[in-house]
Structure 1
Amino acid sequence: MDKKQRVEAALQGLPVDRVPVSMWSRDYRREWSAQALVEATLESYSRYDWDYVRLTPRACYHAEGWKARYRPADNGATPPILESTPISRASDWKRLRPLEPDQGAFGEQLLALQLMNHSLGFEAYFVETLFNPLSVARYIAGSVENVLHTIHEDRTAMHTALRVITETLTSFAIACLEEGAHGIFYSTNGWANAPLLSEDQYREFGEQYDLELLDAIKSRSKLTILHNCGPQMHFDLLAAYPVHAINWAIEQEGNPDLLDGMRRSGKAVMGGLNTDLLRTSTSPQQIQENVAEILEKTGTQHLLLAPGCTLAPDTPTRNIEAVRRMLA
C-alpha cells in the first residue's frame, strides 16, 4: 500500500498492511511565515516518514484579521503573546465583519498550502488546522473568560459574532481545499467539554456553527478530522458530526478509550498516543509498549495512530522514533 491507500483503508475500516501513523508539534519560531512553516512540516515528514500530515500554524492566525494583535515570544518554547484585543465589552462583538479568505494571515496560510501541495500533494494526504468559531472568538478576545462572560451576559452579541466568524471560516476552509489541502483538522479546542459548557450550551453556541462549516466541505474534503482537547468531552454529540475521523486524548478524565469511541461513533479513530508520556518518558521501550497495548486493545482497522493533542516542542526525538520503529 502507498500512504494514501493506507489512510483511505483505515478510514473505511478495511484491512491495512500496517496502521497509518503521524505526529505533529508546533515550531513557535518558524510558524510566522508560510515558507518557514512548510519547511518545518516537511522536515518532520521526511525525518519520520509519516503516512499523513497535519499543518500546525500559529493558533492566533485565525484572529489576526479581526485586529487581535499577537507577537512571537522571545523563546521557541512559548506560544504567541497577546498584545491587544478589539474586544473590551460585550457590544464590541457586534462590530466584527466577515473577512476575505485570501487576505492577511488567511492568505498566508493559503500560500503555505500551495507550497505543501507542490511538495507533498501526490505522495500523502495533508490537512490544514482550523479552529471552530468559539475557539476563534477566544483568540480574538484573548481569553476563555471573556467569551464565557459574553455568553452569559449578552447572548445576542455572541451569536452575532459567531455568525460572522463562521461565514469567514467556511469561505476559508473551501479556499484551503481549492489550494490543494486534502482536508481540514477541525478543532473544538476544549469548548465541547463539560468544564466549559454544558451539552445544551454547546449545542447553542457550538454545534450549529460547527455543522454549518462541516456540511459546506463534506463533499470536497477527503480527510476531515474532528479534534477535541481536554476532559469530559461531549463525545456522543461530536460523534454525529460529518467527519472522517475523530481525534481526542483518551487519557483525559471522562473521555472514552479508542475502542469505545470507535463503537460509539461508527467512525475511524485517530489517537492513542499519550503526549505527556511521549514528553517525559526516558525509556523508548516504554513508548513501544504503549503502542503495542493500543494495537492489542483496538485492533488495526478503523485506526490511525496519532497523539491525542499536539506534541510539546521539547518532546524527545528518541520517543518519536520509537513509535515510528514499531510501525516500520
Structure 2
Amino acid sequence: MWTKKERFEAVLNHELADRPPVSAWRHFTEKEHSGADLFVETMLKWQNTYDWDYVKLQPRASYYEEAWGGQFDYNDYEGVLPKVVKDPIGGVADLEKITVLPGDQGVFAEQIEVIQKMKAGLNEDIPMFQTMMCPTSILQKLCAVNPIGRYRAASRDDLMMTLMHEQPERIHKTLQNITDTMADYSKHLIEDAGLYGVFYGATGLSRSTYMTKEEWEEFVKPYDLQMMEALKPCKIMVHACGLEVNPEYFAHYPIDILHWPESAAGNPKLDTAPQWLDKSITPMGGCDERLFGRHKAEEIAALTRNTLKRMKDIPFVLAPDCSLATNTYDEELRAFIEAAHSND
C-alpha cells in the first residue's frame, strides 16, 4: 500500500508508482480573506473531502499587492480577483514605493501561519505546496495588470510593459526588491513552517503574444533563477499558463516539476515531454480544467483515462491544466478522482 508521499516522490524520482498522484485546486473567494483560521479550515475540508494525493494551497490572488499597500473590496469579486480600490503602482514615481519587505510580517506572516496550521491539521504526511507568483508576475499585478494566463488574449499595451521599455533600470531595481522580499518569505516558509514545496506561478509571461524571448530573458528569467536558489530545498513546481506559453523556456530550470496546459492552443502535449524536457524534471497536467463547472463529469473521466493511457510509461503528476472554476460540481470531482484511481 503506497502512502501519498511515497507515490509523489516516486514520480519525482522518475519511477512509475502504483498510479500517478492526483490533485486539483480552486479559489474559495468567500473564505480566503478573513485570516488564517477560516482559510485553513476551508483547505482542510477540501483535502479531507476528496483525499487528494498532494495539497496545492490556493490563497487569495491579491496578497502580494496587499504587502505593498494595495487595497481591495472583498465584497466585489470579478472572477477570483477582488475589485481594486487602490493600486500600488500607477506610474513611474510609484516604483520607489516597492521596497524590500521582511518576509515574516503582515500578509506573509499570515501565510506562514497557514502552512503551520495546515501541517498540524493534515492526517498524514501529505506533500503540500504553497502558491507563490514569480517576481515579474507580482510586478504585473502591482501595476494593476491581470496576470496573462488561461485562454485570454494577451495584450502588450499595459503599464508594466510600458515601464520596462521606458524605465528599464528602475524596473530592474523594483524587480530586485520584490525578489529579495520573496526570497526572505521563502526562507521563513522553509525554516519556520517546514514547507514541502512551492507552486511557482510563472503565469503567462512566456506567451509568444506577450513578451519576446529577449524581454523574457531580461526581465523574468534572472529573477526566477534567484528564487529557485532561495527556495532550496523545497520541491519546486513551476506553472506556465495560457496559450502558446512556451513551456520549453523552463525545460532546463533547476526545478522538480513543470506544469503547463496541453489543452491550450500552441502548447506541446504532455506525452512529448521526454523529447524536450530535462530528464530531472517531472511533467504535470493532463485534464482540461475548462470542463469543470459545466456538468461534464463523463467527459472529464474519459479525458483523464485517455491521459493515463498516453502516459502509462511516463512518470507524471496528474492535475487539471489550471485552477478549477468556483462552481465546480462534486460529481465532476468524483469522476476525475475515480478515473485517476482506475489503476488501483
Q: How far 1:164 moved relative to its partner?
A: 0.2
Give aligned pairs, total.
Answer: 325
Aligned residue identity for 1:326: A
* Mapped pair 1:226 → 2:238: yes
Q: CA deviation at 1:92?
A: 2.0
TM-score, reference length from structure 1: 0.95
Counterpart of 1:252 in structure 2 is 264
CA distances 1:182-203 after superposition (whole Å, capped 9, x unpaired): 0111001111211210111101
Of residues 96, 104, 110, the one that matches 2:106 is 104
SS in 2 for 1:16: coil
Could you list the runs of 5+ residues in structure 1 that have no partner in the other structure?
A: none
Structure 1 residues 202 and 121: alpha-carbon distance in aligned structure 2, compared to 1, 3 A threshold: farther
Task: Please state whether the residue corresponding to 1:127 is helix, strand or coil.
Answer: strand
Per the alignment, do residues 284 and 199 of structure 1 end up closer, same or farther by CA in structure 2, a change over 3 Å counting? same
Give the ranges of 4+ consecutive aligned residues of structure 1 lying more than 3 Å apart after TM superposition: 73-78
Aligned to 1:188, the other structure's residue is in SS state: strand
Mark the CA change 1:322 to 1:180 in structure 2 (over 3 Å): closer, same or farther.
Answer: same
Contact 1:269 1:303 in 2 (8 A): yes
1:117 to 116, 119, 139: 119
Corresponding residue number in structure 2 for 1:205: 219
CA distance in 1, matches of 2:123, 2:51: 15
- Let me know the Cα RMSD of the aligned residues: 1.6
* Shift in CA distance, 3/78, structure 1 to aligned 2, threshold 3 Å: closer
Q: Which residue of 1 aligns with 2:155?
A: none
SS in 2 for 1:72: strand
Are 1:29 and 1:76, in contact at CA under 8 Å, matched by a contact in 2?
Answer: no
Q: Deviations over 1:278-314 (max 9, x none)?
A: 232x342222111111011122542111011111111
Please identify, of 287-296 and 79-88, the stretch whose mean Cα deviation from structure 2 is larger.
Answer: 79-88
CA positional deviation for 1:86: 2.8
Contact 2:11 2:317 in 1 (8 A): yes
Query: Residues of 2 paired with 1:238 and 1:186: CA distance?
Result: 12
Residue 104 of structure 1 aligns to which amino acid in structure 2? G
CA contact (8 A) 1:278 1:319 kept: yes
| Greater share of helix | 1
Q: Identity percentage over the alignment?
A: 29
Residue among 66, 86, 89 paired with 2:88: 86
What TM-score results when the alignment is normalised by the length of structure 2?
A: 0.90
* Match of residue 49 from structure 2: 47
Q: CA deviation at 1:51?
A: 0.3
Report deviation, 1:91: 3.2
- In structure 2, do the counterparts of structure 1 residues 240 and 105 end up closer, same or farther at CA, with 3 Å as the change threshold? same
CA contact (8 A) 2:287 2:304 kept: yes
Which of 158, 166, 175 is the aligned partner of 1:153?
A: 166
The letter for the 1-side match of 2:209 is P
Matched ranges for 1:1-328 at <5 A:
1-32=2-33, 33-74=35-76, 78-120=80-122, 122-143=124-145, 145-178=158-191, 179-218=193-232, 220-221=233-234, 223-265=235-277, 266=279, 267-280=281-294, 282-299=295-312, 301-328=314-341
